[in-house]
């Protein structure tokens, strides 16, 4: 009887050890998974929209009516060779001379602001989204570029400070850039990228009557990254 009790005690002792070992292994696996999938940093708004133009002079004349003369001193503007129209101190519309032959997509780039440029790139790479290395422009802003599922050019930017030295017209059409849209073909792939991965909220879409393309617009995310300025 004593021998049986002794065997039983040993059995339960080993059972406890096995359970404890399994628990440690499970926690280690959960911890490893958390490291593999970092939390997405905040996306705080649209930084700029860059458009291709065929006639630079006419394009400048058109946009100057709504936002004032182009400037190279505004927050984020690159240079005089790339006309820039500030919508507000932290947002602008940029013009780029179109290449030859003309591009299929005249929206050259859409850029978003983030307060953690390193974390944002790490987050995208962890989800197998290709991104260029982080570089710094002449204004001190750090940024990297990537492509969405349909090849649209995107950029994420973190700016160190604002430069209030810019001019706008009192008759400008608006003071805040809150959305931008693409014409897309694979809406499911785009939604997976913008809604599921980046956390945007779809609020408008329309299908073309002549093609299979679909136009979409989306707001910047509010959860789980916190409040935003979109």
23-49 pLDDT per residue, tens = 343 444 444 444 567 899 999 999 999
CB of 94 within 8 A of CB of 49? yes
d(CA 72, CA 127): 36
Structural domain boundaries of the chain?
1-36, 43-177
What's the mean pLDDT when you consider all of the chain?
Answer: 74
Give the closest residue to 218 by CA, choosing from 193, 208, 99: 193
Q: Collect all residues with Cβ–Cβ distance below 8 Å to 140 and sequence separation of at least 6.
A: 159, 160, 161
pLDDT at 145 over 90: yes
CB atoms within 10 A of CB 215: 14
In this structure, of 75-79, 114-118, 125-129, 208-212, the range with the lowest mean pLDDT score is 208-212
Give the CATH fold of the 43-177 domain.
2,3-Dihydroxybiphenyl 1,2-Dioxygenase; domain 1 (3.10.180)
Tokens (6 digits) for 142: 């750090």
Can you tell me which residue has the tokens 């060779």? 81
pLDDT at 82 over 80: no
* More reliable by pLDDT, 221 or 87: 87
Can you tell me which residue has the tokens 């602001």? 113
d(CA 93, CA 172): 13
Tokens (6 digits) for 69: 């003369």
pLDDT of residue 138: 76
């Amino acid at each position: 009887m004593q021998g049986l009790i002794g065997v039983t005690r040993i059995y339960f002792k080993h059972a406890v050890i096995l359970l404890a070992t399994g628990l440690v292994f499970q926690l280690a696996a959960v911890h490893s998974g958390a490291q593999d999938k970092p939390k997405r940093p905040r996306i705080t708004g649209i930084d700029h929209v860059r458009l291709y133009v065929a006639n630079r002079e006419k394009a400048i004349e058109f946009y100057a009516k709504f936002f004032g003369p182009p400037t190279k001193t505004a927050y984020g503007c690159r240079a005089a060779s790339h006309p820039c129209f500030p919508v507000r101190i932290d947002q602008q519309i940029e013009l780029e001379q179109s290449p030859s032959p003309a591009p299929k997509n005249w929206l050259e780039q859409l850029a978003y602001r983030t307060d953690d440029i390193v974390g944002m790139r790490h987050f995208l790479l962890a989800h197998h989204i290709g991104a260029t290395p982080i570089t710094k422009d002449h204004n001190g802003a750090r940024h990297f570029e990537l492509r969405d599922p349909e090849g649209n050019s995107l950029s994420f930017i973190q700016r160190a400070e604002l430069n209030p030295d810019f001019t706008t017209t009192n008759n400008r059409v608006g003071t805040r850039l809150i959305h931008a849209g693409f014409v897309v073909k694979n809406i499911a792939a785009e939604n997976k990228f913008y809604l599921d991965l980046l956390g945007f909220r779809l609020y408008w879409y329309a299908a073309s009557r002549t093609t299979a393309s679909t136009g979409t617009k989306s707001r910047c995310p509010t959860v789980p990254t916190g409040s935003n300025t979109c």
